[in-house]
Amino acid sequence: SGSAPHGQTAYHFQPAKNWQNGPAGPMYHNGMYHLFYQYNPHGATWGVGNLSWGHSVSGDLVNWAALDAALEPTSPFDANGCWSGSATILPGGVPAILYTGISADGEQVQNVAFPKNASDPLLREWVKPSYNPVIPLPADVPADFFRDPSTAWLGRDGLWRLAVSAKVGNAVGSTLIYRSKDFRLWERNAAPLQESRAAGMVECPDLFPVAEPGVEEGLDHAPRTGTGVRQVLKLSAMDTFQDYYAVGRYNDTSDTFEPEDDGDDCQSWRRLDYGHVYASKSFFDARKNRRVLWSWANETDSQADDVAKGWSGVQIFPRKVWLDNDGKQLRQWPIEEIKTLRSRKVGLLGMVVNSGGVNEIVGVAGTQADVEVIFQIPALEGAESFEPNWLLDPQRLCGEKGASVPGGVGPFGLLVMASGDLQEHTAVFFRVFRHHDKYRVLMCTDLSRSTTRAGVYKPPYGAFVDMDIEAHGGIISLRTLVDHSVVESFGGGGRTCITARVYPEHAENGNSHLYVFNNGTGAVKVAKLEAYELATATVNVGDDGLIQP
């Protein structure tokens, strides 16, 4: 781990320089993982008109080699930008890309592209047929609100489907379904897959099947008979800049989606991450039979900072996603390949952290770390009582009851990216409340002390962890990945995730500390803690030893 100026990450995906936003077309093909992403080759800002598909390949989802851009805005149907989209593995194994082009006339249209040479193991070159666009702008959709085609899937009737976002009739955030016999002529289904009336526009729709509750394997999009399989619909809502998902039933005849447990409007659904991520996209990893999620984590420093450092935007570390035992929520967990980066380890068993305790975890460099903790609360009865209106705004509750505000059970958790004098630190913590005869667990990432630098967005993030902590014997886990400017946390076994961007001044010299703390009245036990220093992955730099399918 060397010094990484300006928050440059060591094992999160970023191009060598310049701007990136949403992930596009992630896939596993022929022993190789591909990631495409929204890329501006001309600078560190979004750059209207310039968006291209950056392209990298990996044998392990950890180390990446950068290739030339896969798509560039060079054709009449994408002259003003190649925007987000998806990959579909066609029968026979050849992949296709569906993406949004901003046409020479400034209209959003959907295009297709194929590998120039399907036997090139890296799929370096992509061809855009001249018959594009395959889906022109519909008459009832404004020119700049029609985008982000999903991975396509085959129905039992042998027709392809894709989902695409549109603002229909100027007001409704719709997810439209198009069907095709041949992947070339596409026809819109009269009914949308889903409509979110309160969300002006949704983006980047992702519909995917999940295995039975508690089963961690992923499912591909193969047509299935029967209605046993649940599906997840994820939408990115422009108004709130958040990714929402619902678990529900997809009807493959009417091509509509009904949330099972949530309301119709996506802004009332659960969030994939309660921190700062957007435009996520998943793919089925046939190599390991799992569903893997990518998502963009934007910078939260100023645009001037981004221009000065020459880059902006990272992707989250890829996560495995599956349906929780409760059948209602997703669980997310860093893919197991992260273990290949683990180097130095510190372990603890049965450490009691008393009220007011701040115990340093010595022995791992705190700028690149993977920390797993299992907390055990000896006496839940000491929890503060809960006021029902707090349910409405957990993020605000995390602001009012920050890491230094004493409570009954908690706040307890980790201080990461901390300077030795604790002037700078990012707190990731839980606070337990009593609500009638149940307990509620609040999870927060508090950035208010994350840096002494001015001009940085430093909100508290927060959400409840949907689990019965009493039934779990007062035990709750926390995992946090620290990578210079990224703090990704997984509460309650990945039921609640919070990703934050931080820019501590002290860490410019590479030295950062890690602590366990407890500001509750009662003691908290660290039943187990494992902290690993993580090595620097090879991410889009150099070219040795990268491709190991």
Minimum distance from CB of 22 to ligand FRU (Å)?
3
Q: For residue 244, state whether it binds ligand FRU (rule: CB under 6 A).
A: no
List 147, 291, 449, 484, residue binding ligand FRU (CB under 6 A): 147
* CA 516 centroid distance within chain: 26
CB crowding 304-315: b at 16 or more within 10 Å, else e: ebbeebebbbbb
Minimum distance from CB of 455 to ligand FRU (Å)?
24
Which residue, 16 or 48, is less far from ligand FRU as judged by CB?
48
Q: Which amino acid is at 203?
A: E
Minimum distance from CB of 101 to ligand FRU (Å)?
10
Minimum distance from CB of 236 to ligand FRU (Å)?
6
Q: For residue 78, state whether it binds ligand FRU (rule: CB under 6 A).
A: no
Q: For residue 26, state whether it binds ligand FRU (rule: CB under 6 A).
A: no
Which residue, 21 or 359, is less far from ligand FRU as judged by CB?
21
List 9, 38, 480, 485, residue binding ligand FRU (CB under 6 A): 38
Rounded to whole angstroms, how far apart are CA atoms 131 and 87? 19
Q: Find, among 339, 340, 292, the residue nearest to 316 by Cα.
A: 292
Q: For residue 21, state whether it binds ligand FRU (rule: CB under 6 A).
A: yes
Minimum distance from CB of 523 to ligand FRU (Å)?
45
Minimum distance from CB of 234 to ligand FRU (Å)?
12
User: Taking a C-beta distance cutoff of 8 angstroms, is the pair 10, 536 a contact?
Assistant: yes
Show contacts with ligand FRU in window 50-69 (CB under 6 A): 51
Q: For residue 204, state whether it binds ligand FRU (rule: CB under 6 A).
A: yes
Identify any residues that bridge with 508 across adjacent strands, giving them in sequence order.
none
Q: For residue 252, state whether it binds ligand FRU (rule: CB under 6 A).
A: no
User: Taking a C-beta distance cutoff of 8 angstroms, is the pair 316, 12 a contact?
Assistant: yes
Question: Who contacts 190 (Cβ-Cβ below 8 Å, separation ≥6)?
Answer: none
CB crowding 378-408: b at 16 or more within 10 Å, else e: eebebbbebeeebeeebeebbbebbbeeebb
Rounded to whole angstroms, how far apart are CA atoms 269 and 209? 17
Q: For residue 531, state whether it binds ligand FRU (rule: CB under 6 A).
A: no
Say how many C-beta atoms besides its own lie within 10 A of residue 462's C-beta. Answer: 24
List 72, 203, 324, 530, residue binding ligand FRU (CB under 6 A): 203
Q: For residue 146, state whether it binds ligand FRU (rule: CB under 6 A).
A: no
Question: Who contacts 227 (Cβ-Cβ below 8 Å, separation ≥6)?
Answer: 249
Show contacts with ligand FRU in window 165-194 (CB under 6 A): none
Minimum distance from CB of 155 to ligand FRU (Å)?
25
Which residue, 8 or 100, is less far from ligand FRU as judged by CB?
100
Structure tokens, 474: 């007062």
User: Taking a C-beta distance cutoff of 8 angstroms, is the pair 413, 454 a contact?
Assistant: no
Minimum distance from CB of 21 to ligand FRU (Å)?
5
Minimum distance from CB of 38 to ligand FRU (Å)?
4
Q: For residue 205, state whether it binds ligand FRU (rule: CB under 6 A).
A: no
Q: How many residues does the chain have?
A: 549
Structure tokens, 66: 């950068």
Site mask for ligand FRU (CB under 6 A), range 99-118, x = bound: -x------------------
Minimum distance from CB of 376 to ligand FRU (Å)?
41
Q: For residue 196, state whether it binds ligand FRU (rule: CB under 6 A).
A: no
Q: In Å, what is the CA distance from 116 to each residue of 113, 121, 132, 393, 462?
A: 9, 12, 16, 50, 46
Q: For residue 22, state whether it binds ligand FRU (rule: CB under 6 A).
A: yes
List 57, 109, 164, 279, residue binding ligand FRU (CB under 6 A): 279
Q: For residue 234, state whether it binds ligand FRU (rule: CB under 6 A).
A: no
Q: For residue 98, state whether it binds ligand FRU (rule: CB under 6 A).
A: no
DSSP letter (8 states) at residue 397: H
Minimum distance from CB of 20 to ligand FRU (Å)?
9
Identify any residues that bridge with 414 across adjacent strands, giving them in sequence order.
428, 516
Give residue number: closest CB to ligand FRU. Answer: 22
List 84, 88, 300, 419, residue binding ligand FRU (CB under 6 A): 84
Which residue, 100 or 329, is less far from ligand FRU as judged by CB?
100
Say how many C-beta atoms besides its own lie within 10 A of residue 64's C-beta. Answer: 24
Rounded to whole angstroms, how far apart are CA atoms 217 and 35? 21
Per DSSP, helices labelled H in 387-542 are 394-400
Rounded to whole angstroms, how far apart are CA atoms 112 and 184? 8
List 72, 148, 206, 324, residue binding ligand FRU (CB under 6 A): 148
User: How many chain residues bind ligand FRU (CB under 6 A)?
Assistant: 12
Minimum distance from CB of 40 to ligand FRU (Å)?
9
Q: Find, among 111, 105, 118, 117, the residue nearest to 79 by Cα.
A: 105
* Residue that the structure tokens 């001009």 belong to: 455
Which residue, 279 or 487, is less far from ligand FRU as judged by CB?
279
Question: Who contacts 6 (Cβ-Cβ below 8 Å, separation ≥6)?
Answer: 305, 308, 309, 485, 503, 508
List 28, 33, 83, 284, residue binding ligand FRU (CB under 6 A): 83
Minimum distance from CB of 205 to ligand FRU (Å)?
10
* Residue that the structure tokens 């201080």 belong to: 415
Contact footprint for ligand FRU (CB under 6 A): 21-22, 38, 51, 83-84, 100, 147-148, 203-204, 279
